[in-house]
């Protein structure tokens, strides 16, 4: 826990509380007047712990000042329980200190009233308690029109959680669960990670004390070793950046261990023990300018081995709440490190969220648009997911978007404008041409945010976008893309079969396939033997009506095989080269088609729009296929028990599948249960998932990718 919070946790006197408040903000005459008023108003009241009640409002104000220096907000924190717990009215506060403070105090009083009305009693069943907590959260968000109220409420809850040990076990559990369901998602949405992380850990301590204790014992037992590992990595990284022109006095590098609840959730989602949590060891690098983030990233990736699948760039694409950081994970000295790279300004926003840059003019002030926060009202969360340790995050909410006419559509977070099109109507999705989000033209795969107004422009005919099936979020969109593409693929196969046969006989007669039954032509692009069979039938028919020279030419014009690297071309014309078109970038294993351009074969992805236009125009085509006996290279990081012979067992197992080892990097540390091993190998199998499953049968795979596709 942060040293500042630890100090606050121990304070139980008015004098010490005031000292801490003064360390966070200079007390104006107005604040001093309010403090004296609150001390008098709460005189005689005590908390369950026995300390004077006024200690709580003063420390809530101290927390608020730590995150936000706005005098009105700090004043509201001091006064937040006056209307609820004393004889003074809201009108008194309004007359004494103005509309702005009274407005915020009223908002905090409403939250208490909603909680009493919506939250089930502590003796209710767990499911009822959780359901009512979700309802309370939705009502709470709906009632707030000034986000400063939420900042004060979060600080209020944080201090309550810091002093929860004074209550009974039953109340501790109930308040901890309520905190996790109601307040953690709000802190997350406001981007105040310092509050979110602390609330999570404190809730975790009371909800799952045994699991908390295990993680705590592990961290404390390995604290010295972890710190030495951090020190070595930080020293190497500092030297690396210094060698590459960075002034180390203008950057900051520090280590951190993930907070306990985050570690626990990772263990549950991935089914691993704490020794295998990837980003237990984390480094944060702070730099001056945005561009420096990318320079540091480049040097880190060149120096260490990056785990490609774990790279995220939130600098170029910030989260809704303003969070900006580059996340990457590297493999170094048999350990895995998460690295976060951000500027000092980004760090302030990441820690303090919306409170970091909150400014008000006179009066209540102009608050930013809170529609993104309001989406918490529409959550369909099932809190049972938390108890059954599913992969869903507690605060991964649905979003609400609108059509230009005001119709409401609920979509899962991460949904695109293309998902929206299919949600409106199947025909709108199938014929979608482009999208307009908040009246600005955007790509169809643009991720939507709550409260977006989305319009879709459609084409006259359906457009098949088969490569997009993994880029949409909703099952409805996936289903219709698949259906649309199956129809398109059948049409393409039939037309391609016709074009290939017509090309074979183009010397003798145009469009020979008009004389053939059309229903079997779809087999030709995928089966060379069937193409040869059809050719033989047509040749037999032609030879009955043609002269001797034509018959002789037909017999000598056999279909030949031409090999170019990984591509086979079959043709009765001379083909001397293969070109890959840049419009669709076909990669190995994709369904492909080939067009004849003189003595060249031009390769397109089968679902390429340009290829489709050429196919419909009956351009000359050739039979093509991939050569499937090529060797493919892969890289992986696996975790192995730190016992003698484990690496040898793995390599022997891999040899059974005709896997050839190219390189092994295996560092060992004496007292670690798990060691990480970096292995590079090759195999005659192009299917990355199949190869990965072979390895997973023997060991736990941390990172796995084909070298060919690593940076695609």
- What are the φ/ψ torsions at residue 230 (nearest 5 degrees)? -55, -50
Between CA 283 and CA 303 the distance in angstroms is: 15
| Whether 85 is catalytic | yes
Token pair 């300390």: residue = 51
Taking a C-beta distance cutoff of 8 angstroms, is the pair 55, 47 a contact? Answer: yes
CB-count burial class (<10 Å; 0-12, 13-18, 19+) for 288:
middle
Between CA 341 and CA 284 the distance in angstroms is: 6
Which candidate in 2, 19, 43, 84 is catalytic? 84
Taking a C-beta distance cutoff of 8 angstroms, is the pair 71, 30 a contact? Answer: yes
Between CA 374 and CA 464 the distance in angstroms is: 35
User: Which helix (H) or strand (E) segment is 296 a member of?
Assistant: helix 290-303
**Could you tell me which residues come within 8 angstroms of residue 63 by beta carbon, excluding any fewer than 6 positions away?**
8, 77, 155, 158, 159
Which candidate in 33, 85, 106, 682 is catalytic? 85
- Count of Cβ atoms closer than 10 Å to residue 9 Cβ: 16
Token pair 């695109």: residue = 416
Between CA 532 and CA 514 the distance in angstroms is: 18
| Whether 338 is catalytic | no
Q: 661: closest CA among 650, 645, 670? A: 650
Query: What are the structure tokens assigned to 665, written together?
Result: 């990097």
Query: What are the structure tokens assigned to 571, written together?
Result: 């043709």
Taking a C-beta distance cutoff of 8 angstroms, is the pair 403, 409 a contact? Answer: yes
Q: Cite the DSSP H helix spans in 80-222.
A: 82-85, 90-97, 99-118, 126-143, 147-162, 169-178, 184-190, 193-207, 209-221
Token pair 């712990």: residue = 49
User: Which helix (H) or strand (E) segment is 267 a member of?
Assistant: helix 260-270
Between CA 436 and CA 72 the distance in angstroms is: 40
- Sheet (strand 432-437) strand order: 440-442, 432-437, 454-458
- CA torsion through residues 405, 408, 413, 417, sign: negative
Between CA 483 and CA 500 the distance in angstroms is: 26
Between CA 216 and CA 130 the distance in angstroms is: 27
Q: 24: closest CA among 56, 52, 50, 61? A: 61
- What are the φ/ψ torsions at residue 633 (nearest 5 degrees)? -100, 140
**Would you give the DSSP letter of residue 311?**
-
Taking a C-beta distance cutoff of 8 angstroms, is the pair 606, 481 a contact? Answer: no
CA atoms within 13 A on the CB side of 176: 23
Catalytic residues: 84-85
């Amino acid at each position: 826990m942060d040293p500042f919070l630890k100090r606050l946790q121990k304070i139980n006197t008015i004098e010490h509380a005031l000292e801490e408040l003064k360390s966070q903000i200079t007390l104006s005459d107005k604040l001093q007047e309010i403090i004296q008023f609150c001390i008098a108003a709460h005189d005689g009241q005590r908390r369950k712990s026995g300390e004077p009640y006024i200690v709580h409002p003063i420390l809530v104000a101290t927390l608020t000042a730590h995150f936000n220096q706005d005098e009105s907000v700090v004043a509201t924190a001091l006064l937040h329980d006056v209307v609820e717990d004393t004889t003074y009215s809201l009108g008194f506060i309004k007359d004494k200190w103005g509309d702005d403070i009274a407005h915020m105090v009223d908002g905090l009083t409403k939250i208490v009233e909603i909680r009493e009305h919506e939250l089930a009693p502590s003796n209710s069943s767990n499911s009822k308690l959780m359901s009512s907590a979700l309802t309370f959260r939705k009502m709470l968000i709906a009632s707030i029109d000034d986000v400063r109220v939420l900042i004060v409420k979060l600080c209020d809850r944080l201090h309550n959680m810091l002093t929860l040990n004074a209550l009974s076990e039953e109340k501790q559990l109930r308040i901890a669960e309520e905190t996790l369901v109601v307040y953690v998602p709000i802190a997350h949405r406001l981007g105040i990670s310092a509050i979110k992380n602390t609330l999570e850990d404190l809730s975790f301590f009371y909800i799952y004390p045994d699991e908390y204790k295990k993680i705590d014992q592990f961290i404390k037992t390995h604290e010295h070793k972890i710190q030495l590992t951090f020190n070595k990595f930080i020293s190497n990284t500092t030297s690396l950046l210094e060698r590459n022109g960075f002034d180390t006095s203008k950057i900051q590098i520090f280590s951190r261990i993930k907070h306990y609840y985050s570690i626990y959730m990772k263990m549950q989602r991935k089914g691993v023990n704490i020794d295998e949590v990837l980003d237990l060891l984390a480094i944060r690098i702070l730099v001056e300018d945005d561009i420096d983030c990318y320079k540091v990233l480049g040097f880190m990736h060149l120096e260490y081995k990056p785990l490609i699948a774990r790279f995220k760039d939130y600098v170029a694409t910030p989260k809704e709440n303003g969070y900006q950081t580059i996340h990457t994970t590297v493999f170094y000295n048999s350990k895995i490190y998460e690295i976060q790279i951000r500027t000092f300004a980004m760090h302030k926003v990441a820690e303090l969220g919306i409170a970091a840059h909150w400014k008000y003019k006179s009066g209540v002030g102009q608050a930013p648009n809170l529609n993104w926060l309001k989406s918490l009202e529409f959550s369909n969360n099932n809190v049972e997911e938390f108890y059954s340790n599913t992969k869903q995050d507690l605060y991964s909410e649905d979003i609400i978007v609108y059509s230009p006419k005001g119709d409401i559509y609920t979509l899962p977070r991460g949904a695109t404008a293309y998902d929206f099109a299919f949600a409106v109507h199947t025909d709108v999705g199938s014929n979608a041409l482009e999208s307009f989000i908040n009246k600005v033209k955007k790509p169809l795969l643009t991720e939507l945010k709550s409260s977006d107004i989305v319009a879709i422009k459609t084409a006259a005919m359906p457009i098949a976008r088969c490569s997009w099936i993994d880029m949409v979020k909703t099952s409805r969109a996936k289903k219709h893309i698949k259906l649309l593409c199956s129809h398109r693929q059948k049409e393409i196969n039939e037309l391609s079969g016709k074009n290939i046969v017509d090309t074979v006989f183009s010397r003798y007669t145009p469009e020979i396939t008009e004389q053939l039954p059309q229903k079997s032509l779809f087999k030709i692009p995928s089966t060379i033997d069937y193409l040869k069979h059809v050719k033989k039938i047509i040749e037999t028919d032609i030879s009955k009506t043609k002269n001797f020279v034509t018959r002789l030419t037909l017999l000598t014009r056999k279909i030949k095989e031409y090999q170019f690297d990984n591509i086979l071309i079959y043709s009765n014309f001379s083909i001397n080269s293969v070109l890959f078109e840049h419009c669709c970038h076909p990669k190995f294993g994709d369904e492909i088609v080939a067009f004849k351009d003189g003595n060249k074969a031009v390769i397109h992805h089968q679902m390429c729009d340009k290829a489709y236009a050429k196919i419909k125009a009956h351009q000359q085509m050739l039979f093509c296929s991939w050569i499937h006996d090529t060797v493919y290279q892969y890289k992986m990081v696996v975790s192995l028990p730190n016992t003698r012979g484990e690496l040898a067992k793995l390599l022997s197992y891999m040899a059974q599948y005709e896997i050839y080892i190219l390189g092994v990097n295996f560092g060992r540390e004496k007292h670690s249960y798990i060691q990480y091993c970096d292995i590079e190998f090759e195999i005659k199998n192009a299917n990355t998932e199949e190869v990965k499953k072979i390895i997973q049968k023997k060991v736990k795979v941390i990172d796995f990718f084909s070298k060919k596709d690593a940076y695609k």
